[in-house]
């Protein structure tokens, strides 16, 4: 009995040690909150670094640490932790744009204090310094980096939820304190800098690039939004790198175009039907095979084009290139399909089993003119829908009705459980692969969810084409890594985060544009 009492007292002491003073007034008074957060963050940091709380995965540890240090107003340490995070995340500064907003905010606070100037002036100085220190390849990614996860209203909502949890309490447990500090930092950072920093970014962008978005009208009246990006210094016609993007968005489309422009190409990003300024019906996968022939024809004849077109993109964007290859335009000289969806092969069904994820994805890309991030990332909502369907005992066809939004696309896909003419009409089929005599570079990963699709196209090309010029690069990458760069770690279900071999930590972008240089600019084949 004595041992049980001592053990109980031990756990009580542990629980007490994990609680911190946090006045309930801080939940409703922003001035008090501003004063209390740094003090709370310092206490959480001490606990966070203890053996019992320190995460085993170093990236998780550093990700939380730099936010806690920022909350504690230890800006120098926060910047150092962000730098350490990037080095741990990927080699060769390939992740140099990660957490850029938090870093610039910390830099601005230090400049504000050191030079005794107003925060907006300090922010401008910090942004300019950081922007000019980045490689061109990374500057192309800044817009999306600064815009993604930076919905100020969403961060405010999360902070309010964390504060509401503490109402009428004068103490806070360790886990809640950690979450509160992180939510506070995210809201504080983005609400303080977003409007100004986006203006600064756009000004820099206008100095370097010509970015035009226009409506492209096809022969039968279909209207598509296309974004053209060129470096101002490039005044002669250049090869065009085209991407077909269903995940429409201002920063996404411009970013994809800039990815090509910084390698001294013209970047062209066309959105699928129904996206951006197009009012046509959005039927994913169904229209690319006919639309892209006309898109390629148009871009190849523009004054900034030298008549040569290449294509690049991953996942759906990889599928799009195979759709374009179904009826090859003479101007299309090469494709670089990355982690390509094997439509009807590995998505929306695999081994004749449809995926519940397909409805979530359909709504993601069809709910509005851009992408419905709020719905797609609402795990609670989709868990609830899937659970309701499972418990109902109804057929899988009922899933869209149970979601509250019946979908004709969902139902149409279910009408084609085998690889029939419906799917075959979207990409090359059998002997059509024999006509694809342009060079192809496929990338995928051991842990890529669409590896089956990527390898299907590769094998079919070799099966039906007597002399295919088709290279395959496959490595220890997941779906994201095989279309961007090889991180230092890859998450493998059942095994956790595995450290990958340094030789595989390559830039897929650099690989792709070396390929384009070789094919479209008669460069030397130093790729492999």
Asked if 403 and 359 count as a contact pair (C-beta separation under 8 A), the reply is yes
Closest by alpha carbon to 290, among 252, 225, 244, 256? 244
pLDDT at 486: 87
Q: What is the model's pLDDT at position 484?
A: 93
Q: How many CB atoms neighbour CB 116 within 10 A?
A: 8
Parallel, antiparallel or unpaired: strands 489-492 and 496-499? antiparallel
Cβ(303)–Cβ(447) under 8 Å? no
Q: What tens digit of pLDDT does each residue of 211-225 get?
A: 999 999 999 999 999
Band (pLDDT 50/70/90 cuts) for residue 524 is confident
pLDDT the model gives residue 12: 41
Nearest in space to 209 (alpha carbons), one of 226, 232, 227, 228: 232
pLDDT exceeding 90 applies to what percent of the chain? 90
Q: pLDDT tens digits, residue range 293-336?
A: 999 999 999 999 999 999 999 999 999 999 999 999 999 999 99
Q: Give the DSSP letter of residue 527.
A: -
Q: What's the confidence (pLDDT) of residue 2?
A: 46
pLDDT digits (tens, 9 = 90+) for 71-111: 999 999 999 999 999 999 999 999 999 999 999 999 999 99
Cα distances (angstroms) measured from residue 108 to each of 119, 309, 341:
7, 43, 43
Confidence band of 148 (pLDDT split at 50, 70, 90): low
Q: What are the pLDDT digits (tens) for 170-200? A: 999 999 999 999 999 999 999 999 999 999 9
Question: Which residues make Cβ contacts (< 8 Å) with residue 521, sequence separation at least 6?
Answer: 239
Higher pLDDT, 10 or 23: 23
Instruction: Report whether pLDDT(15) > 60.
Output: no
Distances (CA, A) of 379 to 84, 372, 402, 405, 433: 30, 13, 16, 17, 40
| % of the chain with per-residue pLDDT over 70 | 95
> Of the segments 16-30, 136-150, 479-493, which one has the largest average pLDDT value?
479-493
Q: Which residues contact 285 (CB under 8 A, 6 or more apart)?
A: 316, 319, 323, 343, 426
pLDDT band of residue 523 (cuts 50, 70, 90) is confident
Q: How far is CA 329 from CA 247, 326, 346, 470, in A?
A: 24, 9, 27, 18
Instruction: Give the three-state DSSP class for 19.
Output: strand
**267-279: per-residue pLDDT in tens?**
999 999 999 999 9
pLDDT at 526: 67
The model's confidence at residue 52, banded by pLDDT at 50, 70 and 90, is: very high
- The Cα 310–Cα 290 span in angstroms is 17
Q: Is 271 helix (H, G, I), strand (E, B) or coil?
A: strand
| 420 has pLDDT over 80 | yes
Tokens in use for 438? 């342009």
Q: What is the pLDDT of residue 256?
A: 96
pTM for the whole thing? Answer: 0.92
Please tell me the predicted confidence (pLDDT) of residue 18.
79
Q: Give the residues across from 268 on adjacent strands.
A: 228, 242
**Average pLDDT of the residues of the chain:** 93
Identify the residue whose tokens are 């061109």.
136
Residues across the chain:
528
- For 275-295, b where at least 16 C-beta lie within 10 A, e where not — what string? bbebebebebbbbbbbbbbbb
């Amino acid at each position: 009995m004595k041992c049980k009492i001592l053990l109980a007292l031990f756990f009580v002491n542990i629980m007490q040690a994990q609680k911190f003073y946090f006045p309930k007034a801080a939940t409703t008074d922003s001035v008090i909150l501003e004063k209390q957060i740094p003090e709370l963050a310092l206490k959480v940091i001490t606990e966070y670094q203890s053996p019992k709380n320190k995460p085993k995965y170093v990236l998780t540890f550093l990700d939380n640490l730099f936010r806690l240090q920022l909350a504690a107003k230890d800006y120098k340490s926060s910047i150092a932790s962000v730098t350490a995070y990037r080095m741990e995340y990927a080699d060769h500064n390939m992740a140099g744009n990660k957490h850029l907003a938090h870093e610039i905010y910390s830099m601005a606070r230090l400049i504000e204090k050191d030079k005794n100037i107003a925060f907006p002036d300090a922010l401008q100085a910090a942004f300019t310094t950081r922007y000019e220190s980045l490689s061109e390849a990374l500057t192309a990614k800044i817009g999306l980096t600064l815009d993604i996860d930076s919905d100020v209203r969403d961060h405010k909502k999360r902070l309010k939820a964390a504060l509401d949890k503490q109402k009428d309490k004068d103490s806070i447990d360790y886990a809640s304190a950690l979450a509160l500090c992180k939510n506070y930092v995210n809201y504080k950072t983005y609400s303080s800098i977003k409007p100004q920093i986006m203006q600064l970014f756009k000004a820099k962008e206008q100095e370097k690039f010509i970015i035009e978005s226009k409506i492209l009208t096809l022969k039968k009246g279909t209207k598509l939004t296309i974004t053209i990006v060129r470096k101002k210094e490039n005044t002669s016609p250049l090869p065009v790198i085209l991407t077909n993007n269903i995940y429409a968005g201002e920063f996404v489309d411009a970013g994809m175009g800039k990815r090509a422009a910084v390698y001294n190409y013209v970047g062209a990003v066309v959105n699928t039907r129904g996206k951006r300024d197009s009012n046509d019906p959005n039927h994913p996968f169904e229209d690319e095979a006919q639309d892209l022939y006309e898109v390629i024809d148009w871009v190849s004849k523009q004054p900034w084009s030298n008549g040569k077109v290449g294509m690049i993109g991953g996942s759906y964007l990889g599928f799009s290139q195979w759709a374009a290859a179904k009826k090859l335009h003479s101007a299309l000289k090469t494709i670089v399909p990355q982690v390509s969806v094997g439509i009807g092969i590995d998505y929306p069904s695999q081994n004749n089993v449809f995926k519940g994820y397909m409805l979530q994805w359909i709504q993601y890309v069809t709910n509005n003119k851009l992408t419905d991030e709020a719905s797609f990332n609402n795990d609670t909502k989709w868990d609830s829908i899937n659970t309701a369907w499972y418990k109902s005992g109804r057929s899988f066809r009922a899933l869209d009705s149970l979601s509250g939004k019946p979908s004709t696309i969902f139902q149409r896909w279910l009408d084609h459980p085998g690889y029939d003419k419906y799917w075959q009409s979207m990409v090359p089929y059998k002997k059509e692969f024999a006509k694809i005599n342009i060079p192809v570079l496929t990338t995928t990963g051991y842990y890529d969810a669409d590896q089956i699709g990527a390898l299907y196209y590769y094998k079919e090309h070799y099966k039906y084409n007597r002399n295919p010029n088709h290279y395959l690069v496959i490595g220890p990458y997941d779906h994201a890594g095989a279309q961007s760069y090889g991180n230092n770690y890859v998450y493998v279900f059942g095994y956790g985060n595995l450290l990958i071999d340094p030789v595989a930590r390559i830039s897929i972008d650099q690989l792709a544009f070396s390929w384009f240089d070789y094919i479209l600019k008669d460069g030397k084949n130093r790729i492999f």
